Amino acid sequence: MRARATDARRAAVLGSPVAHSLSPVLHRTAYRELGLGDWSYDRFEIDEEALPGFFGDLGPEWAGLSLTMPLKRAVIPLLDEVSETAASVEAVNTVVFTEDGRRVGDNTDIPGMVAALRERGIEQVDSAAILGAGATASSALAALAQICTGEVVAYVRSAERAAEMRRWGERLDVEVRTQDWAQAAQALRAPLVIATTPAGTTDALSAAVPERPATLFDVLYDPWPTDLAARWSGYGGAVVSGLDLLVHQAVLQVEQMTGRAPAPLDAMRKAGEQALMNRR
């Protein structure tokens, strides 16, 4: 699944919108640290309609692609192979072009979540809560399938979303119970809370943070900290950020695309932190 690490190679992140993506900062930093001075990493504003044409124009210099919304599912028909991890959530965020010209899709978000949690000492929990029910929530469920030994409670806004989360739970072999979003404050007492909602959605919950919170994984990174994360850390709880996730999944992408391991995690994280500071 590795691309050759010689000669000038190209990689990029695709999506719409994509201008905000930190992926170029992270991957370019990795290339410098790994001595891959002739590698380049760009960003392209590509929607679902334009994706097949973009793939059709790619030459042999391409090593890989990072994919963000709305392309993670749309890319699957264009691939020769999809990893078991990506297939489990029907979402591909990484494409590697092999030396024999095959297009291989993977999902590094799921192992990236697990790695980010393990970095903070979270190896296993006996229960967890998920705030939200979108695409990121399904990846969170897949990550919890590896570290959660008991029930996962998902807090959602509609019966349709609740049914969808239960279906994902059955597919991923995770025990999922759903609760209405009106009860979301109850989630904050779980050993692990994963917030997968858009910016501002959890702000109203910050007043309900318990005095001794456990671990919060908030997948947002800009703006940071969220109100919930700030209150959580203020009470001494452990907080894993969206930047932690972004860096860990990018590390895996770099290693797959370049064939070089380990990727420079610390340098990539510092570059991401600096890029976020420069936006403020």
Asked if 201 contacts 177 with a C-beta cutoff of 8 angstroms, the reply is: no
- Sorted by sequence, the CB contacts under 8 Å of residue 19 that are 6+ apart come out as 43, 45
Q: Which of 9, 27, 28, 72 is catalytic?
A: 72
Adjacent-strand bridge partners of 239: 216
Known active-site residue 270:
no
From the list 149, 104, 152, 107, the residue with the least C-alpha distance to 131 is 152
> Mind giving me the DSSP string for 78-130?
G-SEE-HHHHHHT---EEEE-TTS-EEEE--HHHHHHHHHHHTT---BS-EEE
Adjacent-strand bridge partners of 65: 12, 95
**Active site residue ranges:** 72
